[in-house]
Amino acid sequence: MQEIAGSSTGFLPGYYTPITTHLGLAIGSAVSVGRIANLTEDSGKGLTDDLIYESLETFPAGRQPNIIAMSRRSLRQLRNSRTATNATGAPAPRPTEVEGIPIIVTDGINNVEAIET
């Protein structure tokens, strides 16, 4: 128990429990993870299928990735890079996979990382 700030009544007793955790990522080898860097909002600097396929080329044939993780912005850029070819002229659908590899959208990927040189 400790005193916590109330909305308009000053302080009141409340339960407080600090919570900590440690997360980890096990990487099997140097060819287990790939990254496409320097994606921005600038023209020609967004995520495209060509960039994804270039990244997939770096994996051994027998050890393709099991997911493709990206930010919401990168998903939008990927969708916008695709040309919809249908009778109605509707935009391309939301990408959910590339060659059977599912796309996972996460807030854990930052859109404002420093440009890699």
Domain count, the chain: 1
Asked whether residue 116 is assigned to any structural domain, the reply reads yes
Tell me the β-bridge partners of 113.
none
The span from the CA of 49 to the CA of 82, in Å, is 8
Answering whether pTM is above 0.85, one says: no
For residues 78 and 95, is the Cβ–Cβ distance under 8 A? Answer: yes
Q: Are 48 and 34 in contact (CB under 8 A)?
A: no
Q: 91-108: per-residue pLDDT in tens?
A: 788 999 999 999 999 998
Instruction: Assess if residue 24 is contained within a domain.
Output: no
Q: Would residue 22 count as lying in a domain?
A: no
- Report if residue 15 sits inside a domain: no
Please write the tens of the pLDDT for every residue from 24-68. 777 777 778 889 999 999 999 999 999 999 999 999 888 889 999
Asked if the structure places residue 65 within a domain, the reply is yes
Tokens of 86: 């249908």
- Please give the sequence-ordered ranges of beta strands (E in DSSP) within 56-95, or none if there are none: 68-70
Q: Which domain holds residue 83?
A: 34-117
For residue 70, tell me if it sits in a domain: yes
Residue 111 domain-assigned (yes or no):
yes
